């Protein structure tokens, strides 16, 4: 497709389980971002990839959260030992990289999100 | 720490009026500021980007200002329409990935 694709759109799991959320960015976009959004709040930054490497993972809340992007395209956000507080919409976005370094001047193209509910 | 403030209370206006939304930030100096629109159940959609050396940017009925002294951006929608009803997010862009405010919900009454 032409846009950012996220699967699953909805995921219900039990506390303590492992979850994987997938993001397929726009073809040719080298930068990929994961955000988390709770009701009534703005997107909260989790991690940013430039190519295959995590350029900034300072937003990951703890070591239960991990993300990979092995071939520089599709990314997977992995959450171990899920907790009820992890319930949120997980948004993925991609952008064209405008050059090296941490400064990103490009607009982000978001997917529709994966709604995670931990019971 | 960096802080972004947007009016958390919904803004209700009549169709045809100008809506003005405010974004204030503290403890950093963004080189750019972006505005996004988000509809319920959807991902944010990019609207406008303004650079620190630009005072004002326009796109159709949208106008954004960026005052680096006041650390504030104003987002205006002129001749507002019910279809403009949504949540609007600002994202001052520093040296790391975009950080978003909590957004302001705009409701345009017909």
Whether a cis peptide bond, with omega within 30° of 0, leads into A61 is no
What confidence category does residue B1 fall into, taking pLDDT thresholds of 50, 70 and 90?
confident
> In this structure, are residues A7 and A114 in contact, taking their beta carbons and an 8 Å threshold?
yes
Chain A contact present for B32, CB below 8 A: yes
pLDDT of residue B2: 79
Question: Of the candidates A42, A48, A111, which has its C-beta nearest B43's C-beta?
Answer: A111
pLDDT of residue A68: 97
pLDDT per residue over B27-46, tens digit each? 888 888 999 999 999 999 99
Cα separation of B65 and B35, whole Å? 11
Buried b (16+ CB within 10 A) or exposed e, A78-95: ebeebeeebbbbbbbbbb
Question: Of the candidates B96, B98, B101, which has its C-beta nearest A108's C-beta?
Answer: B98
Report the DSSP pairing between strands A31-37 and A53-56.
Answer: unpaired
pLDDT of residue B96: 66
pLDDT of residue A100: 42
pLDDT of residue A66: 97
Which carries the bigger pLDDT value, residue B96 or residue B61? B61
Nearest one of A56, A42, A59, A51 to A110, comparing CA atoms: A42
Tokens of B75: 């987002």
B56 contacts: CB under 8 Å, gap ≥ 6: B50, B63, B64, B65, B66
Nearest one of B97, B107, B92, B93 to B5, comparing CA atoms: B92
Q: Do A56 and B93 touch (CB under 8 A)?
A: no
Nearest one of B99, B82, B72 to B7, comparing CA atoms: B72
> In this structure, are residues A95 and A107 in contact, taking their beta carbons and an 8 Å threshold?
yes
pLDDT of residue A101: 41
What is the average pLDDT across B1-11?
88
Question: Of the candidates B46, B49, B99, which has its C-beta nearest A45's C-beta?
Answer: B99
Q: Do B45 and A103 touch (CB under 8 A)?
A: no
Neighbours of B4 (CB within 10 A): 23
Q: Do B46 and A108 touch (CB under 8 A)?
A: yes
Q: Do A45 and B43 touch (CB under 8 A)?
A: no
User: Chain B partners of A56 at a C-beta cutoff of 8 Å?
Assistant: 96-97
pLDDT per residue over B67-107, tens digit each? 999 999 999 999 999 999 999 999 998 766 788 999 999 99
pLDDT of residue B106: 97
Q: Across the 119 residues of chain A, what is the mean pLDDT of every consecutive 10-residue run?
A: 92 98 95 95 94 91 96 96 98 77 68 98
């Amino acid at each position: 497709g032409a846009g950012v694709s996220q699967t699953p759109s909805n995921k219900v799991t039990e506390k303590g389980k492992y979850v994987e959320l997938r993001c397929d960015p726009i073809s040719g976009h080298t930068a990929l971002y994961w955000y988390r959004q709770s009701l009534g709040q703005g997107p909260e930054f989790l991690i940013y990839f430039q190519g295959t490497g995590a350029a900034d993972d300072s937003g990951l809340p703890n070591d239960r959260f991990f993300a990979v992007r092995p071939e520089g395209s599709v990314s997977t956000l992995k959450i171990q030992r899920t907790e009820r507080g992890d319930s949120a919409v997980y948004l993925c976005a991609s952008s064209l990289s405008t050059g090296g370094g941490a400064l990103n001047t490009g607009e982000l193209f978001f997917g529709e999100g994966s709604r995670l509910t931990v019971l | 720490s960096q802080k972004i403030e947007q009016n958390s209370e919904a803004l209700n206006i009549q169709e045809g009026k100008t809506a003005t939304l405010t974004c204030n930030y503290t403890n950093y100096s963004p080189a750019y500021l972006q505005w996004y629109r988000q509809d319920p159940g959807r991902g944010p959609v990019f609207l406008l980007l303004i650079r620190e050396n630009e005072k004002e940017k326009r796109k159709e009925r949208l106008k954004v200002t960026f005052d680096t002294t006041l650390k504030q951006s104003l987002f205006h929608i002129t001749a507002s329409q019910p279809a403009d009803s949504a949540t609007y997010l600002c994202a001052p862009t520093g040296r790391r990935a975009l950080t978003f405010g909590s957004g302001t919900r705009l409701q345009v009454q017909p």
